[in-house]
A and B are shown apart, each in its own frame.
Chain A
């Protein structure tokens, strides 16, 4: 069985022109992760999907029912984006797709062919953390940290939308991201600090 999974995964990931290599990590991932679904017959062919993830072109071959979230985590090996409920109720899987924050669990990888995606892995500038990452640390805006990548991507999306004027607006427009540790007040504090700085500038 292991051999089949291995072959399948090797088959379904490619190097892109810029030399970004995701093959090795996928290969090693086999030891630790549940295998991705096998192609069980010839009826359903994998489709080639090109995603511009964190400014790198990545080509994946995925079956139609692979969610964007699973595409990112299991195929592109970008596990910063978290799977919480997998049903659009928690916001942990929030990524920025073509400039808009979306939940990656309720869309399919094949539907996002050609899209620009930013995940939590893509927001720092080299070793310089994104202002929201710094503010989250500063304000102790997490306990377990599971919701944090989604919270931060969602907050980036919210600021780009430019609709939140007040703290009440921020709370309302961040309600799609749940924090079960109850760090919500600190999360809003962190976002408000960055938002106020940005508004000031």
Chain B
């Protein structure tokens, strides 16, 4: 870890000012990803600006339109176990609880969850080329051991995946990210927050230097009756997803009125395909409908040497998870496969 100075921000303006005026200053909240990356010398900062003591951005508030506003500084655990989230957005609660460990969820913040960096082996191994770590150096994963890498939205520069579970649910729920920065505030729809790698894989998202996430809004529709989060991984808990699926369904007598399906572990951002969700409208909630939707979602998937299994796995996971959404009460702890 490089030497750095540390300062506490009094409020959002103070935090933005302290970071935006120094090119290598960073915000720190939970620290669970940033401090880890700094220990590996993969991220450097001249100053850490601690935003944990900034008031007014920890709570969960009701919005006039029926949705909720999640303070960016609330912890993942407090969010997942909040009565309003458990009752109205159980999909989000399930997804958060499928991620990391109880200790990390007690530390990690909602805003920080969106800003996690990839767990690509080569990104973490500073002895290998990596366009995300060092733009222009090349991608070691494309011809390397790429079992955990992306199959959708990849580029010749990068096939890393975005590791968050929480964000897969937020994508399915059409969340909106509220941001403050040196030029004032702005909001981004969730789909526009994270980026595909293209030829700029060093940029994970569209946040500019000095900008900070202040809150995340989730619209009224929470799919609390028919939802499911399924996470498939190499061990039952405390591992990143090979494939994960968030499903929310609105049903009327067994017919789908609205469907949301988002995938994790397969791309540089949570993956949603509107065409598949449109296709499911007015179809029976059956394995056949979901399999057809899965084919649409995985259309255009590009396998690499060791991860071609992910295409079939993702299709089956979508069907399985959509069927689980019909009986959410059967779900097991840790978003494991159930009936």
> Residues of A at under 8 Å CB distance from B?
40, 43-44, 47, 63-65, 67, 86-88, 91, 94, 100-103, 106-108, 110-111, 154, 157-158, 161, 163, 168-169, 171-177
- B102, A111: Cβ atoms closer than 8 Å: no
- B107, A103: Cβ atoms closer than 8 Å: yes
- A64, B5: Cβ atoms closer than 8 Å: yes
Partner of A154, one of B4, B103, B237: B103
What's the dominant secondary structure at chain A's contact region? mixed
- A161 cross-chain contacts in B, Cβ below 8 A: 77, 81, 102
- B106, A100: Cβ atoms closer than 8 Å: yes
- B100 at interface (Cβ–Cβ under 8 A)? yes
> Residues of B at under 8 Å CB distance from A?
1-6, 28, 30-32, 35-36, 38-40, 48, 50, 52, 77, 81, 100-104, 106-107, 236-238, 332-334
Partner of A44, one of B5, B40, B81, B236: B5
Given the contacts A101-B106, A175-B334, A106 and B32 also touching, CB distance less than 8 Å:
yes
Residue of A44, A103, A106 contacting most chain B CB atoms (<10 Å): A106
The CA of A88 and the CA of B52, in the complex, are separated in Å by 20
- B236 cross-chain contacts in A, Cβ below 8 A: 172, 175
- B50 cross-chain contacts in A, Cβ below 8 A: 110-111
The CA of A74 and the CA of B16, in the complex, are separated in Å by 34
The CA of A38 and the CA of B6, in the complex, are separated in Å by 17
The CA of A91 and the CA of B103, in the complex, are separated in Å by 8
- B106 cross-chain contacts in A, Cβ below 8 A: 100-102, 157
Known: A63-B3, A67-B35, A169-B333. 9 other contacts (CB 8 A): A87-B36, A87-B40, A101-B103, A106-B104, A111-B28, A111-B50, A158-B102, A171-B333, A175-B101
Residue of A nearest to B334 (CB): A172
Partner of A64, one of B4, B238, B333: B4
10 contacts between A and B (CB under 8 A): A65-B3, A91-B103, A100-B106, A106-B35, A106-B107, A108-B48, A163-B81, A168-B333, A172-B333, A177-B101
The CA of A176 and the CA of B103, in the complex, are separated in Å by 7
- B237, A111: Cβ atoms closer than 8 Å: no
The CA of A17 and the CA of B199, in the complex, are separated in Å by 59
Residue of A nearest to B35 (CB): A106
Partner of A108, one of B31, B104, B332, B333: B31
Partner of B4, one of A40, A65, A91, A107: A65
- B104, A175: Cβ atoms closer than 8 Å: no
Residue of B nearest to A86 (CB): B39
- A176, B39: Cβ atoms closer than 8 Å: no
Partner of A88, one of B3, B32, B77, B237: B32
The CA of A64 and the CA of B3, in the complex, are separated in Å by 8
Chain B proximity of A41: nearest CB distance (Å)? 9
- B2 cross-chain contacts in A, Cβ below 8 A: 65
Chain B proximity of A200: nearest CB distance (Å)? 22
Residue of B2, B35, B334 contacting most chain A CB atoms (<10 Å): B35
